Amino acid sequence: MSLPTLHDLHRPLGSTGLLVSPLGLGTVKLGRDQGVKYPSGFQIPGDDEARMLLRQARELGINLIDTAPAYGMSEERLGPLLRDQRKDWVIVSKVGEEFENGASSHDFSAAHTRMSIERSLKRLETDFIDLVLVHSDGNDLHILNDCEVYQTLAELKKEGKIRGFGFSGKTVEGGVKALEQGDCAMVTYNLNEQAEKAVIEYAAAHGKGILVKKALASGHVCLAPGVDPIRASFTLLFAQTGVASAIVGTINPLHLAHNVATAAQVIRQL
Asked whether 239 and 212 are in contact (CB, 8 A), the reply is: no
Positive or negative, the Cα torsion across 13, 109, 137, 32? positive
Asked whether 217 and 191 are in contact (CB, 8 A), the reply is: yes
Element (H or E) spanning 149, and its range? helix 149-158
Of 38, 71, 189, 202, the active-site residue reads 71
Q: Rounded to 5 degrees, what are φ and ψ at 214?
A: 55, 40
CA 174 to CA 184: how far, in whole Å? Answer: 12
CA 79 from centre of chain: 17
189 is catalytic: no
CA 27 to CA 104: how far, in whole Å? Answer: 17
CA 170 to CA 133: how far, in whole Å? Answer: 13
Positive or negative, the Cα torsion across 125, 95, 239, 176? negative
Report strand pairing: 97-100 vs 103-106.
Answer: antiparallel
CA 117 to CA 100: how far, in whole Å? Answer: 18
Task: Find the radius of gyration of the CA atoms of the chain.
Answer: 17
Residues annotated as catalytic (active site), given as ranges:
71
